[in-house]
Amino acid sequence: MKMCVITAMVFLVLSGQCGILAGKVNKHKPWIETSYHGVINENMDTVLLDPPLVALDKDAPVPYAGEICAFKIHGQEAPFEAEVLNRTSGEGVLRARGPIDCEQQKEYTFIIQAYDCGASPSGANWKKSHKAVVHIQVDDVNEFSPVFREPLYRATVTEGKIYDSILQVEAWDQDCSPQYSQICNYEIVTQDTPFAIDRNGNIRNTERLSYDKQQHYKIMVTAYDCGQKRAIESVPVHIDVKPVCKPGWQGWNKRVDYEPGTGSRQLFPKMHLETCDGPLSSVRAMVELQTSHIGKGCDRETYSEKSLQKLCGAASGSTDLLPAPSVSTNWTASLLTDSGRDSDLIFRFDGRQAANIPEWVVPQNLTDQFTIATWMKHGPSPGLRAEKETLLCNSDKTEMNRHHYSLYVHNCRLVFLLRRDFIQLDSFRPAEFHWRLEQICDKEWHYYVINVEFPSVTLFVDGVTYEPYLVTDDWPIHPSEIDVQLTVGACWQGGEVTTPRFTQYFRGSLSGLTIRPGKIATQKVISCLQACKEGLDISSLESLGKGIKFHFNPAQSVLVMEADDLESINTAMTKVSYINSRQFPTPGLRKLHITTTVQCFGEDTCISIPEIKAMVMVLPPSEPRITIAGVEWLVWPVAQLRAPVGVALFKDIHIISTVTKTDATLSIARRPGVLELMHNLDYCDVLVIGEELDPERESLEIHHSSLLGKHLDATNSTSGISIYGVDSMAHYEQAIRQVRYHNWKPGGLSERRFRLSCSELNGRYTSNEFNLEIGIVHSSEAIEHVNHMAVQSQYMRPVHHPLLVHTVNSDHISGKVSLNVS
């Protein structure tokens, strides 16, 4: 019994000692930071803490007491749990117990404490740390796409206006964060639309909309959040265009066809100006006919230079330096030509071609008065310091390099050089005349005339006078026996070089280059030579009334009209016409351009009127068929050939021109009809077939009296005779009938053959080649005493009114005529 009591006492003592020992082992609380900030991505489970979750205990390294066994979370039923990763180091991790959704809750705040492991494996006498605050932010994931608030958007706009905003579309996003929940951009998905959208969803138009062009637009729009996630479904936007009253010209046609020979054609017979009831005080309209692409700037007569000068009443004696290439005018054969469909002969120079004018062609008697004229189209010269470009040059052929006279372009200046041989060798004289004009390098055709009345030189460009801005003097040229050379397209350098050559080449186009010694051209002749045959016109001037003012430019290509009220300007515009006085105009398009200015009371301009661009289409003229008919074989006795007046070759000749027309009014079957046409001719050539004429024994001539009262002239040579000038077919017939062949020494000649052909518009339309053969009878016994054969022309004589014939035989009628000796 005593032993039991002793044993119990020992146990109690040991137990008390152990409790005292345990209290001494786990003396300290765990330590953690006072606050933590954490981030967790939604739909993830691990929280990133700053600072990291670590608990420290000063009891370490005592087992249990210095180790961390748990982290406990308190408050708000936070969906998180803490886990100890390492009891010794005190490291822990914070995890979500389930999916975290930012859209439900964006952040969490709760309390956390750390617990050590106590004093023994049983965890007795554990201690806990102080409370730390944990703040966790949930990072959003871009899981939602933008969605538009409306399934369809509609708007209406007024045509012709530019809007800052037509309407605004709006999309939203369910994501929680500003980055993913905000809409950062909108885009129009539909391609090639006249609309744009900004980042706020405002839709505007990028151009003025037209009701006539399109009345309704349907576009698709999408949206992007700030994470660039696109809306799954685009939204349709319907925009209707509403018409408004539009100021402008109405009731006009874009194209007007012009039938050649119909005179003046109204361009806008139903045209009127709509001002939408604007309070206007005046209206100014300018109509411009653009013809720079036709021929040489507009539709002009394309007769030869000689014929045109004769037609315009120019003084005779001019020399054509750029004629059409032929046997007798072969110096232009090597030049580049640009002959249009209107037989308008143009020579194109590319800086490598030039022509020497034969000595027998060059005018030898240039006095103090002469004229140089040409058509020229020229553009800017290449390079900063361009070389001289010579149109016409008269220089020494050999030994020296003196320029006696020349016409050249240099840096868009036109310069005329004239150095004369003077007796007073010690005096300066005007030598170079300079003009600086825009026309010289504008790449358009212009007509240049230089009138020399030494020492004065005047330039005409398209009929307008220009005085030189600079005149320089020089010493006169010493007289010499050196021959000179006239060239076109460059200047001949015959001296001071090893090999004579061309220099100062011209780059551009020339036509109708002539020189006339002894006389200058008058203003009237110059205007006639360059006159346009097409232009604007006003029909029925008397119907315009006093409320309209108008004026034309000299070429009648620009018409300006002014009025104080709508009625006057509308009436005037309906009277604007196009006219082409050529019988065979150049077909093709002519552009029309109309600009209008409306002035209101007290304002400069109040209504904007759109410009009008229209066109006149000149239809191709019916091509005439020029036919020469008559006796094709004649027999003459020698005695008549020897007679002083010779014999008339074409006494029974007839010239007629016809066109073929197809018209529903001609017949029910619409058969083609042949219509006799009256028009002019510009030359007829009688050529000798076979050997040329021998001037010692025969001649082909026409008496000058046969040309009196007509616009005709004639030249002859051993090759034949040419009658030229713009005149009627009747006058040509009369003149040709007076062409006579004279042979005072026929010898053994038994026949002669001739060929007659005629032209209209410088070869644009040519006749058939009419061949005439004459037999020469040397013995009186061989002459048959026969009657004249009645040779009828297959055509009736020309009348002043068109003659319509349905059955015209195109074969030439020929016959044999023998003349009585008695």
Q: Which of left, alpha, beta for 491 (phi over 0: left; psi -120 to 50: alpha)?
A: beta
Residue 14, in any domain of the structure: no
Residue 21, in any domain of the structure: no
State whether 80 and 155 are in the same domain.
no
In what helix (H) or strand (E) does residue 381 lie, and over which residues does it extend? none
pLDDT score of 808: 34
Domain that holds residue 46: 26-139
Over residues 147-163, the pLDDT tens digits come to 999 999 999 999 889 99
Q: Is the pLDDT of residue 809 over 70?
A: no
Q: What percent of the chain has pLDDT over 70?
A: 87
Q: Which of left, alpha, beta for 263 (phi over 0: left; psi -120 to 50: alpha)?
A: left
Over residues 201-227, the pLDDT tens digits come to 999 999 999 988 999 999 999 999 988
DSSP one-letter code for 128: B
CA dihedral sign, ordered 543, 547, 548, 549: positive
H and E: helices and strands count for the chain: 7, 60
State CA 251 to chain mean position distance.
Answer: 27
Q: Which two tokens stand for residue 229?
A: 């996630």
What's the rounded mean pLDDT across residues 475-492? 82
Report in angstroms the alpha-carbon separations of 285 from 397, 559, 568, 597, 792. Answer: 58, 8, 12, 6, 60
pLDDT score of 294: 82
CATH number for the domain spanning 270: value is 2.60.40.680
Report in angstroms the alpha-carbon separations of 142 from 41, 169, 177, 822. Answer: 11, 22, 9, 127
Residue 1, in any domain of the structure: no
pLDDT score of 797: 32
Is 225 within 8 Å of 182 (Cβ atoms)?
Answer: yes
Please report which confidence band the pLDDT of residue 40 belongs to, taking 50, 70 and 90 as the band edges: confident
Distance, in Å, from the CA atom of 648 to the CA atom of 641, rounded to the nearest integer, reads 10
pLDDT score of 313: 84
Q: Is the pLDDT of residue 21 over 70?
A: no
Over residues 267-319, the pLDDT tens digits come to 999 999 988 877 788 899 999 999 888 878 888 877 877 788 888 888 888 88
The candidate with the shortest Cα–Cα distance to 299, out of 679, 762, 618, 538, is 618
Please report which confidence band the pLDDT of residue 165 belongs to, taking 50, 70 and 90 as the band edges: very high
State whether 72 and 115 are in the same domain.
yes
Please report which confidence band the pLDDT of residue 22 belongs to, taking 50, 70 and 90 as the band edges: very low
Helix, coil or strand: residue 4: helix
Distance, in Å, from the CA atom of 563 to the CA atom of 252, rounded to the nearest integer, reads 20
CATH number for the domain spanning 469: value is 2.60.120.200
In what helix (H) or strand (E) does residue 49 lie, and over which residues does it extend? strand 46-50
Report in angstroms the alpha-carbon separations of 548 from 263, 287, 438, 571. Answer: 24, 15, 33, 9
Is 395 within 8 Å of 404 (Cβ atoms)?
Answer: yes
Q: Is the pLDDT of residue 784 over 60?
A: no
Q: Is the pLDDT of residue 119 over 90?
A: no
Q: Is the pLDDT of residue 16 over 70?
A: no
State whether 800 and 712 are in the same domain.
yes
pLDDT score of 662: 57
Last residue of a domain, one of 139, 174, 194: 139
Distance, in Å, from the CA atom of 238 to the CA atom of 152, rounded to the nearest integer, reads 8
State whether 721 and 661 are in the same domain.
yes
pLDDT score of 780: 56
Distance, in Å, from the CA atom of 80 to the CA atom of 112, rounded to the nearest integer, reads 11
Last residue of a domain, one of 95, 115, 139: 139
Is 761 within 8 Å of 303 (Cβ atoms)?
Answer: yes
DSSP one-letter code for 439: G
The position carrying tokens 């510009």 is 682
Please report which confidence band the pLDDT of residue 179 belongs to, taking 50, 70 and 90 as the band edges: confident
Residue 387, in any domain of the structure: yes
Q: Is the pLDDT of residue 792 over 80?
A: no
Q: Is the pLDDT of residue 507 over 60?
A: yes
Q: Which of left, alpha, beta for 763 (phi over 0: left; psi -120 to 50: alpha)?
A: left
Distance, in Å, from the CA atom of 715 to the CA atom of 621, rounded to the nearest integer, reads 32
Q: Do the strands 235-242 and 153-158 form a parallel or antiparallel pair, or are they unpaired?
A: parallel
Q: What percent of the chain has pLDDT over 90?
A: 44
CATH number for the domain spanning 155: value is 2.60.40.60
Last residue of a domain, one of 509, 529, 549: 529
Q: Is the pLDDT of residue 732 over 90?
A: yes
Q: What's the length of the chain?
A: 822
State whether 641 and 742 are in the same domain.
yes
The candidate with the shortest Cα–Cα distance to 199, out of 180, 181, 186, is 186
Which one-letter amino acid corresponds to residue 329?
T
Residue 5, in any domain of the structure: no
How many distinct structural domains can be found in the chain? Answer: 5
Burial class (CB in 10 A: 0-12, 13-18, 19+), 92: buried
What's the rounded mean pLDDT across residues 790-800? 32
**Range among 15-19, 49-53, 799-803 rated most confident:** 49-53
Q: Is the pLDDT of residue 351 over 80?
A: yes
Of 547 and 321, more confident: 321
pLDDT, averaged across the chain: 83
Dihedral pair phi/psi, residue 510, rounded to 5°: -130, 155
> Does residue 455 have a cis bond before it (omega within 30 degrees)?
yes
State whether 524 and 547 are in the same domain.
no
State whether 278 and 420 are in the same domain.
no
Q: Is the pLDDT of residue 12 over 60?
A: no
Q: Is the pLDDT of residue 803 over 50?
A: no
The candidate with the shortest Cα–Cα distance to 532, out of 287, 259, 291, 312, is 291
